[in-house]
Amino acid sequence: MRRAVFLDRDGTLIEEANYLSEIRSLTLFPYTVDAVRLLNQSGFAVVVVTNQAGIARGIVKEAFVAEAHAVIDARLAVGGARIDAYYYCPHHPDGSIAAFRKDCDCRKPRPGQLRQAAADLNLDLARSFVVGDRWSDVDAGEAVGARGVLVRTGHGRQSESKNRASATVTDNLIQAVAWILRQP
């Protein structure tokens, strides 16, 4: 079984764009390619897990999410980095699109996306990590026995101000990766 690092997308892997809906607003952080490549080289599966309630709210279509992920893949590939799999939750309990209006198990902090990835990729969740800019990211990981790291990018500083005991917090994704690689 493989260890994984689950990465939140918006505010963690790429800049927070408040419902990303245009490719021109898709911006990788300067260290994103290096961070992902380091995880690749260290043998971790790198899995994006992202809440995309913009789909339920009618702001973006699933085809756009797929296009955005293809663009991220292309930009990572230039630097020899690779995402092993993407998962997203298209739902929201108050969504305007009936097909996606749902109290689901895959919207973080619920761990449905992580569980699905573990089943698909044969992942060892108890030896895995999750990195995100909201406590709901960390909670999704902890719900399945993974360790969480909060980053201060995106909504992270706001999240950090809602203090939690014994949480690991780093400035950004590359520092989170450096921390993960130091863990036994």
Residue 8 interacting partner from Zn ion, Mg ion, none (CB closer than 5 to 8 Å by kind): Mg ion
Which of the residues 101 through 120 are near Zn ion (CB under 5 A)?
Answer: 104, 106-107
Residue 84 interacting partner from Zn ion, Mg ion, none (CB closer than 5 to 8 Å by kind): none
Interface with Zn ion, residue 91, by CB under 5 A: yes
Q: How many CA atoms lie within 13 A of 43 on its CB side?
A: 6
Distance CA 110, CA 141 (A): 9
Interface with Zn ion, residue 72, by CB under 5 A: no
For Zn ion, which is the closer residue by CB, 50 or 170?
50
Among 3, 5, 6, 11, binds Mg ion (CB under 5 A): 11
For Mg ion, which is the closer residue by CB, 122 or 164?
164
Cα→Cα distances 118→49, 81, 98, 112, 114, Å:
12, 21, 29, 10, 6
Please say if 10 is a catalytic residue.
yes
Q: Contact letters (x/-) for Mg ion, 135-174, by CB under 5 A?
A: -------------------x--------------------
Among 5, 6, 8, 38, binds Mg ion (CB under 5 A): 8
- Do the beta carbons of residue 110 and residue 140 sit within 8 Å? yes
Please say if 8 is a catalytic residue.
yes
- Do the beta carbons of residue 167 and residue 132 sit within 8 Å? no
Helix axes 135-142, 112-121, angle to 10 degrees: 50
Q: How far is the CB of 102 from Mg ion (least distance, A)?
A: 20
Residue 133 interacting partner from Mg ion, Zn ion, none (CB closer than 5 to 8 Å by kind): Mg ion
- Find all residues with CB under 8 Å of 134, minimum gap 6, and list them: 8, 11, 108, 150, 154, 155, 156, 159
Neighbouring C-beta atoms of residue 54, cutoff 10 Å: 21
Q: Encoding tokens for residue 4? A: 């994984």
Provide the total of helices (H) and of strands (E) in the chain, helices listed first: 7, 6
Q: Which residues here bind Zn ion, judged by CB under 5 A?
A: 89, 91, 104, 106-107
Residues noted as catalytic: 8, 10
Q: Which residues here bind Mg ion, judged by CB under 5 A?
A: 8, 10-11, 133, 154
